[in-house]
Structure 1
Amino acid sequence: MRWSGLSKSVPRLFNRSRVLTHSLTIPTMALSSNWAKLQANNADLKGGKKSTGKAKNTGKEKKGSAKNVVKKNAGSTKNIVKKNTSYKKTERPGKKPSKIMSMVYSMNDAIKQHAVDKRDGKAFEFKTEETAAADLDGSAVPDFDNLPSSKKAKDIGKFVAMDCEFVGVGPEGKDSALARLSITNFYGHVVMDEFVKPRETVTDWRTWVSGVKPEHMKNAISFKDAQEKCSKILEGRILVGHAIKHDLEALLLSHPRSMIRDTARHLPFRKQYAQGKSPSLKKLAKEILKVDIQDGQHSSVEDARMTMLIYKSDKKEFERLHRSTFSS
């Protein structure tokens, strides 16, 4: 995530950077073991199907009669059997997993495959846009709203999440420069993940927190190329991020406020987790997803994925507040 020492002197933003006419090259997913931890905490994730609690037994009805009561009184508001919400509900063994957990299981499989690829020297294999788009059409990538048609599945999608990593520049390394840019789609698949050559001389790689090393610059792209690729992806799409203003400033890009969903500015999160202030991504991941992140070197891919999951956990409220703010 954003390094606290970001320079306060940021050039003026411009509305749009030039759009590339060539197809993007999309790398494979950079995977994190934190996805495996999500599997053990599926009860706390929102956005998927919730398991149904058992009806209370009044003692006058035989076991299983609650189900009949619900059917018999389907049209009555007086005799509805309420769900027991006093305990955390978990998926029952053998029950079809929720959509969000299906994604987690898919990511676990991908993590295992990534380990095999790394062992075989295939960890840095790149996919073409057509190949990556075909992945979106597979059953391993669930849609949390509706299953898209095969045509829509080939698109990046309406929602993308973005995160950046920075290195230190300047005499004492206190100023920050973009060194890695990652964008994922609604399902967590990587749309763009590039190391970026800083325009200034690096005086502090901040590897312990950024994860960026000098050797990563060997195949890094220029700032201009990163800016143009990012601009093309963001065009016309809803951008999900955490304190996303800083990442956009680092890229010298702007994005319409009505097309941004910022988990650091979401009022319910601020009230519940930070006493009205902006909660950290680490805090939200721990409280909402029950996952520990950023314990060591950061991963912009992991942070982008976590940000999207956090957004999904309260998507309805995000959109309700958005409509109330921007409706004419």
Structure 2
Amino acid sequence: MPCSLVVEKPICGVVCRKLKKNKKMRSEEQKKKNPKKKQKLPINPNWAQLQQTLQIHGSRPRKTSNTETQDSILGKRKERPDAEYDKSQINPLIPTNDDFSVTDAIAMDCEMVGVGQGNRSALGRVTLVNQWGNVLYDEFVRPVERVADFRTQISGIRPRDLRKARDFSTAQKKVAVLIKGRILVGHALSNDLKALLLSHPRKDLRDTSEYQPFLKGRRRKALQHLAAEFLGAKIQSGEHCPIEDARAAMLLYQRNKKEWEKSIRDQMRLRQKQKKRNQKGKTNEGVL
């Protein structure tokens, strides 16, 4: 008996362990073959409604409104005219290069101040530009007489400008050297030359106030109107800038140079013929 009790106890333990192991394996196999579906928890009705709304908006492509489409199209259309407008607003008076050489044609413009009682004009500033519009000479000039009226609203000259200005004789000599033997372009050049106490050969003058195509009948047009009409440039809207005025006169000449020079040659031929006729008439009278 004692021996049988010792033997039975371990056998029973081994059997129990094997049974448990087999049972566990079978349960695992059943789980693999027949996995249990997870039980769904009841959904909150508010959450369900929100999910449905999100699905509807998410599945449909976003519609662009008519106003958005029109705005986008109009925006693109506006870019092109604006770009063209900016190009058209480029100032034609700005020089296209940096050539500051003394060219065969030079444009001049002067600004005047009032001397005496203010009713007489005297040179206050003189500007010369070459055919490209680059400045060759630009100086304030101190008149010999006392300035009574600076005419700032038109001339743009102020008392401080003339404190260290060039004296008249220095400016006069410099201008005379620059324009000698060259075509002189400007507007109402007779006034500028008078203020400088200088003369220039008539055949070398190109005055935009006297050129026939620029005249309105027999009336002369202001440089401001010529620049707006023929160049599309806005000048003299306030204080006059002699650099802009000289550039405008030069550009008017350059754009009409071929026809202008032809008209000058025709005028010279006509004068020569008239001169010859007058000489022949005098000789015939002497013979008689």
TM-score by shorter chain over 0.5: yes
Once the two structures are superposed, the pairs formed by residues 73-222 of structure 1 within 5 Å of their partners are 104=94, 106=96, 135-136=98-99, 155-171=101-117, 173-222=118-167
Offset from partner CA, 1:192-214 (integer Å, 9 cap, x none): 00000011111111111100011
What CA distance in whole angstroms lies between the structure 2 residues aligned with 1:192 and 1:180? Answer: 10
> After superposition, what is the alpha-carbon deviation per residue over 1:126-162, rounded to whole angstroms, capped at 9, x for unaligned?
xxxxxxxxx42xxxxxxxxxxxxxxxxx740100000
Q: Secondary structure at the match of 1:176?
A: strand
Equivalent residue of 1:236, what SS?
A: coil
Give the TM-score normalised by the residue count of structure 2: 0.61
Specify which structure has the bigger relative contact order, considering alpha-carbon pairs within 8 angstroms and separated by 6 or more residues. Answer: 1
1:116 counterpart residue number: none
1:311 paired with 2:256, answer no
The residue that corresponds to 2:240 in the other structure is: 298
- 1:293 deviates by 1.0
**Which whole-Å CA distance do the structure 2 matches of 1:318 and 1:38 have between them?**
31
Asked if structure 1 preserves the Cα contact closer than 8 Å seen for 2:101 and 2:130, the reply is: no
- C-alpha distance in structure 2 between counterparts of 1:318 and 1:183, whole Å: 21
RMSD over aligned Cα atoms: 2.2
The question of whether the paired residues in 1 share the 8 Å contact of 2:95 and 2:133 is answered with no
Matched AA of 2:188: A
**2:95–2:134 CA contact under 8 A, matched in 1:** no
Residue 240 (structure 1) aligned with residue 185 (structure 2): yes
Count of residues in Structure 1 that have an aligned counterpart in Structure 2:
186
Seen in structure 2, the aligned counterparts of structure 1 residues 198 and 38 have a Cα distance that, compared at 3 Å, is: farther
User: Superposed, which structure 2 residues align to 1:256-275 within 5 Å?
Assistant: 256-270=201-215, 274-275=216-217
CA contact (8 A) 1:162 1:181 kept: yes
Distance of aligned partners of 1:176 and 1:105 in 2 relative to their CA distance in 1, 3 Å threshold: closer
Listed one character per residue, the Cα deviations across residues 235-293 of structure 1 (whole Å, up to 9, x for unaligned) are 111000111011001111000001111110001111xxx23211110110010011221
Letter in 2 for 1:311: Y
For the 8 Å contact 1:38–1:104, the answer to whether it is kept is no
**2:98 paired with 1:40:** no
The residue identity in structure 1 corresponding to 2:104 is: K
Q: Structure 1 unaligned segments of length 5 or more: list them.
A: 1-36, 43-99, 108-134, 137-153
Q: 1:38 to 1:268 in 2, by over 3 A?
A: farther
Q: Structure 1 residues 194 and 169 mapped into 2: Cα distance closer, same or farther (>3 Å)? A: same
| Partner residue, 1:326 | 268
Residue 166 of structure 1: how far off its partner (Å): 0.5
Classify 1:38/1:193 alpha carbon distance in 2 versus 1 (closer, same or farther; 3 Å): farther
The one-letter amino acid of 1:314's match is N
Q: Secondary structure at the match of 1:196?
A: strand
Q: Hey, what's the Cα distance between the residues in 1 that align with 2:86 and 2:225? A: 15
Does the CA-based 8 Å contact 2:109-2:128 persist in structure 1? yes
Q: 2:247 & 2:154 partners in 1: Cα distance?
A: 18
Q: Distance in 1 between matches of 2:247 and 2:224?
A: 13
* 1:316 Cα offset (Å): 1.3
SS of the residue corresponding to residue 125 of structure 2 reads strand
Distance 2:150 2:264 in 1: 38
Query: Once superposed, which parts of structure 1, at least 4 consecutive aligned residues long, lie more than 3 Å away?
Result: 103-107
Change (3 A) 1:238 1:105: closer
Question: 1:39–1:176: structure 2 CA closer, same or farther, 3 Å change rule?
Answer: farther
CA distance in structure 1 between the aligned counterparts of 2:125 and 2:224, rounded to whole angstroms: 19
1:80-100 deviation line (CA, Å, top 9, x unaligned) = xxxxxxxxxxxxxxxxxxxx9
Which of the numbers 260, 284, 288 marks the counterpart of 2:226? 284
